[in-house]
A and B are shown apart, each in its own frame.
Chain A
């Protein structure tokens, strides 16, 4: 069974750093793109970026380029999303997703990030 399991909710202060994770199982982790999607409270879905764990090829939405870093460790089938300096506006639910070639067919359960002083 394909699963994407994300790390737990985080509460951080502005200016702090953060790295959240997404562990894939039940499929060949290095053969599918893994992406990240943001959903701010009460709002819609925004694609942030994507990585191909097989060769670490990474692409970012222009809206998120330079704001976050996406990485992956294929030895443990885990993708990451990280911030070096959080802002209150980063408060959102973050989903990791698998992309087989069309839409995003599997989604993680989501990681809620709250940034507040």
Chain B
């Protein structure tokens, strides 16, 4: 199985801050990476796929980058509604996907 390691596991930030979350795969995944946002008591929501493609309806302050084994989710200017837990997921392995352990973004 491909293992996904996210960092940090949590962070505190203020409204307006630029926030970066990193996801590292145990082997190259050729941009087969998605990012999700989950708010308490809610189902996760797809933000980006193919490492950098924004899902329809997702604000442009969210962006993704990376290649090979290392990927990044960036929120350019953190908004109050962005406080949540974020997960990366690889889908490179045919019909076998794994998630990162999550990064909780909290209010400073």
Residues of chain A having any CB pair with chain B under 8 Å: 33, 44-47, 50, 59, 61-62, 95, 99, 102-105, 107-110
Q: Could you tell me which B residues sit within 8 Å of A by CB distance?
A: 1, 32, 34-36, 38, 43-46, 48-50, 53, 55, 87, 89, 91, 95-102
Besides the known contacts A44-B99, A102-B50, A109-B43, 14 further A-B residue pairs in the complex with CB atoms under 8 A apart: A44-B101, A46-B99, A61-B96, A95-B43, A95-B44, A102-B49, A103-B34, A103-B91, A104-B89, A105-B46, A105-B55, A107-B44, A107-B45, A110-B43
Chain B nearest CB from A92 CB (Å) reads 14
Q: How far is the CA of A61 from the CA of B48 in the complex (A)?
A: 23
Contacting pair B43 A107 (CB below 8 A): yes
**Bound Cα distance from A72 to B100, whole angstroms:** 28
Q: Which residues of the partner chain B approach A61 to less than 8 Å between Cβ atoms? A: 96
Q: List 16 A-B contacts (CB under 8 A).
A: A44-B100, A45-B38, A45-B87, A45-B89, A46-B99, A47-B99, A50-B95, A59-B96, A102-B32, A102-B53, A103-B36, A103-B91, A104-B36, A105-B46, A105-B49, A107-B44
